Chain A
């Protein structure tokens, strides 16, 4: 009597089938996820699994954010290089008026952003440490000393945004380029998109900092929120320097 095994063995030679019967290759890792591999559905909510899931989520988000900013950068550069069509001259003309960037303000903003990354990193590390001890039952699992650090990060984030508003205001009052010059709207577009993303980060940080108070957020959830938000935050910091470099170097 033929068995599955024999049958498959014969037919499988050009190995094209989807997996086919066989041993579980690598029960963990690449060979499969972990959701089906547990007895209690509560494991789905275990802090470790949740942290891993959220990290992946953040990675994917950053992928999407990257795409967005790559496109905006391309739009910026293409507009810069190609110029505008002049019907009278019957050719493309360069109409890009380089911005008179308020560098002092921009550097102050950059500094604020770097500082906020540092304070956030402090909060993240202490929380990660505490989580380890909390799991062992050594310290009570509650955020105390971290909250101020988160608070400082939020304040610095808002300062950065306020600084950006100053930059925009400054540019708005520069009359040099007529109403239609592309350099200013494009600057607003790119930095504005960055600011909007930063607002999301601020919301997440506020949620993490105030969560325990307002929504009875548990410590491990709090810690996860801080962990992934810090990825996001650092990434936005790097992105900011990319944008800064773009607006500084790409000028006609």
Chain B
């Protein structure tokens, strides 16, 4: 039994390591400025924790020795020195890991210069994402969804028709952004909590009704990427999908113009 258990533990370790090394599924290629540092941190995390995982399972397998039937087991209550040593060791490892991750986090949440950023307001509604651009005047019009929102009349967000700032707002069902510029997002929700998840950008942020949440990301590669909803929002949660189209600057300008003329 001892041998079998040890072998199975070793096999499990091997299997898990194989799974992560061969990784039939893995991160989509990162296409935002933030993804580089993040992927590096992930790589470090998987190495450190993977090493602890292997060490843990193998040490567990090793202590399961079958001792000869005549041997006595050790009557050993413990040892404070050992106790302190391993507590200190694991504290150092965990906190080093924590501090290195904390640095990345403070970088991510730091305010950034808004110059040249694209403003997009994202609204989640059961079960559809809407993206609003401020138009030529650079400001978003006031909204009042219960009052004005009529999806079939082209005003799903309920932009107040009386507000001049809202006249030139552009509402789209996909996010189109120019490559290389920071995208400033303002997240809102019309009914329940949703979560804007763009795996390729390594981006996720809940959209909470009654709040405006400001965040940003910077796409660096032209292409089309999927958005999923990552917070349970009801029956259609699984199909609350949208696309981010990252385009060149000219194309973006053109797209804006096309939308404005509609």
**B212 x A14 contact (CB < 8 A):** no
Write the B47-87 contact mask toward A (1 if CB under 8 angstroms, else 0).
00000000000000000000000000001111111010000
- Chain A residues near B80: list those with CB within 8 A: 14, 16
A-binding residues in B (CB < 8 A) = 75-81, 83, 142-143, 188, 210-212
A17:B78 contact, CB within 8 angstroms: yes
A87-B143, A88-B142 known; A12+B77 contact, CB < 8 A? yes
Please report the C-alpha to C-alpha distance between residue A7 and residue B111 in the assembled complex, in whole angstroms: 65
Interface pair B211/A14, CB less than 8 Å apart? no
Chain A count of residues within 8 A CB distance of the other chain: 14
Q: How far is the CA of A17 from the CA of B143 in the complex (A)?
A: 68
**A residues apposed to B, CB below 8 Å:** 7-8, 11-12, 14-17, 20, 84-85, 87-88, 90
Given known A11-B76, A90-B212, contact A16–B143 (CB-CB < 8 A): no
Q: Say yes or no: A87-B75 contact (C-beta < 8 A), given A14-B80, A14-B81, A16-B80.
A: no
Contact B77 A20 (CB under 8 A): yes
Tell me the complex Cα distance, A43–B85, Å: 49
Q: In the complex, how many residue pairs between chain A and chain B have their CB atoms under 8 Å apart?
A: 29
Assembled-state Cα–Cα distance A20/B142 (Å): 73
Q: A11-B75, A20-B77, A87-B212 are in contact. List 14 more A-B contacts (CB 8 A).
A: A7-B75, A8-B75, A11-B76, A14-B77, A14-B78, A14-B79, A16-B80, A16-B83, A17-B78, A84-B210, A85-B211, A85-B212, A87-B143, A88-B142
CB distance from B249 to the nearest CB of A (A): 28
B-side contacts of A17, CB under 8 Å: 77-78
Chain A residues whose CB sits within 8 angstroms of the CB of B142 once the complex forms:
88
Q: How far is the CA of A16 from the CA of B142 in the complex (A)?
A: 67
* Cα(A84)–Cα(B80), bound, Å: 53
Q: In the assembly, what is the distance between CA of A88 and CA of B188, in Å?
A: 13
Query: Nearest 10 CB-CB pairs, A to B?
Result: A17-B77, A16-B78, A16-B77, A14-B79, A14-B80, A11-B75, A85-B210, A88-B142, A85-B211, A90-B212
Chain B residues with Cβ under 8 A from A87's Cβ? Answer: 143, 188, 212
Shortest Cβ distance from residue B105 to the other chain A in the assembled complex, whole angstroms: 24
